[in-house]
Homo-oligomer: A and B are copies of this chain.
Amino acid sequence: LNKLNLFIIACALFANMIFPQVLNQEKEKHYRETALKITREALTENVGYELLRELCEIGPRLSGSENSLKAIYWAEQKMKDMGFDSVWLQPVMVPHWDRGNIESAVIAGTGKELNISALGGSVPTPDEGITAEVLEVKNFEQLDSLKEKAKGKIIFFSRELDHGLVNTFAGYGGAVDQRSRGPIKAAAAGAVGVIIRSVTTLHDNVPHTGMTSYVDTLPKIPAAAVGNIDADFLSDALKKDPSLKVTLKLNCRTLPDALSYNVIGDIRGYEKPEEIILTGGHFDSWDAGCGAHDDGGGCIQALESIELFKRLNIKNKRTLRCVFFINEENGIKGAIEYARFSDSTKQNHYAAIESDRGVFTPKGFSFDADSALIQNVQKWLPVLRTAGIEYIRKGGSGVDISRIKNAKALIGYVPDDQRYMDVHHSANDTFESVHPREMQLGTAAIAILVYLIDLEGF
């Protein structure tokens, strides 16, 4: 080992360390051609967008509801019509909460009605409602410090989502504790009800619901979200009259668990059929709007992204599997059941990709995987850029696929999120809020990633 050899070896090691791995030119050219074909097909035919239109016409898909079953059977039929090699419904019992037909919050003596929506899982009020003074707090610390005032009152958690954060999921994450744990904290302080300011980026009056929770050791008190304009109104009214009372009426209820299903469709691989590349989303939604972005659109992207292989006659070595998970919003029972099935039958997942951050313009993919794998797949970016994907980064994947064990990579599709919290969990989440090109480009991005994983492997 003389110095020249040492030099050569060092350089080689160095180059390997520094040079990002790249696809060879011929491969890249070929992959880019396929990526262009996929993208063009997705953008011109709008198959997924039109499927989403049909799905939205069925209505919202809250777990356990009649509509959710209609949608499940619709999806099963669609996968069959598309010629998937196997399509089946995986049974799972899900929570069945129902909003009822009464929800109102009136400022006593004024007739002023606040625009509210019961939080998912909330207990009802008595028929005559709950009439109580309102204590406004910004956070749990403030509630603690005002504990002696909370007894017998309705707690109004009024902290806004932080609009100054670029990532709207971070903004959401910083405010949603009021919704998810507000009733526990309020009950602990002796309160009788909860109203929260809707967690949203939009300053309108549409209430945004979402799951709340209770503990068995404390009273379960009713809880609702109020639209932001009415949240401002209530805040102002409380400044003028701190002893004003609100009458809250809700007749929502939790019914016995209901039978529901994950919808599962496979396109068998020709070379390694035992290895599964899964695409998925969650098929349940909240019960306002139609869950177009959250997550009907994501499910349809998962579906079309593998159906495109059939349509464009692209042969898949591995088995492509689309899963519409049920009950992500209020129980995650679908994901738990799929993971149980996967473990007990030793399903061999090679990779799983979830779309559950809205169906807006593609930005990147978030990989829950080994760092070396992530480093290695950076070489696919010149191909993925065809559909607007600018990065692959380490990060979380998706709630539904995160329970799958032994996959080499769990992957979250990351679109632009600036408009997502405008519609999330609310009546704003309609088919009309989805832009066809944005959605279809995302479908293409996922399809191209599936294509690369299938062909190149990790």
Residues of A that sit less than 8 Å from B by CB = 2-4, 6-7, 10-11, 14-15, 18-19, 39-41, 43-44, 163-166, 168, 201, 361, 363, 386-388, 390-391, 416, 418-419, 435, 437-438, 441
| Cβ of A375 to closest chain B Cβ, rounded Å | 15
| Pick from B14, B391, B418, B435: contact of A437, CB under 8 Å | B418
Selected A-B contacts with CB under 8 Å, 17 pairs: A2-B3, A3-B4, A6-B7, A7-B7, A7-B10, A11-B11, A15-B18, A39-B164, A43-B164, A163-B437, A166-B387, A166-B388, A168-B437, A363-B390, A390-B391, A416-B416, A419-B438
* A361→B360 CA distance, assembly (Å): 11
Residues of B within 8 A of A10 (CB): 7, 11
Say whether chain A's binding surface is mostly helix, strand, loop, or mixed.
helix
Identical chains bound together, number: 2
Q: Taking A437-B419, A438-B418 as contacts, is the C-beta distance between A166 and B11 under 8 angstroms?
A: no
* A2→B2 CA distance, assembly (Å): 12
Most buried by B among A4, A163, A441: A163
* A44→B161 CA distance, assembly (Å): 11
- A390 in contact with B387 (CB, 8 Å): no
- A44 in contact with B418 (CB, 8 Å): no
* A165→B391 CA distance, assembly (Å): 20
| Cβ of A37 to closest chain B Cβ, rounded Å | 10
| Pick from B2, B11, B14, B44: contact of A163, CB under 8 Å | B44
The residue of chain B having its C-beta at the shortest distance from the C-beta of A39 within the complex is: B166
* A437→B438 CA distance, assembly (Å): 17
* A361→B168 CA distance, assembly (Å): 13
Residues of B within 8 A of A39 (CB): 164, 166
| Pick from B14, B387, B391, B418: contact of A11, CB under 8 Å | B14
Report, nearest first, the 3 A-B pairs whose CB atoms are least far apart: A40-B164, A3-B3, A390-B390
Residues of B within 8 A of A4 (CB): 3
- B437 in contact with A201 (CB, 8 Å): yes
| Cβ of A111 to closest chain B Cβ, rounded Å | 32
* A361→B10 CA distance, assembly (Å): 44
* A419→B11 CA distance, assembly (Å): 48
* A246→B8 CA distance, assembly (Å): 77
Residues of B within 8 A of A363 (CB): 390
| Pick from B3, B41, B388, B416: contact of A7, CB under 8 Å | B3
Further pairs besides A10-B11, A11-B11: 11, Cβ < 8 Å = A6-B7, A7-B7, A11-B14, A14-B14, A43-B165, A44-B163, A166-B388, A361-B418, A390-B391, A418-B441, A419-B438
The residue of chain B having its C-beta at the shortest distance from the C-beta of A171 within the complex is: B43
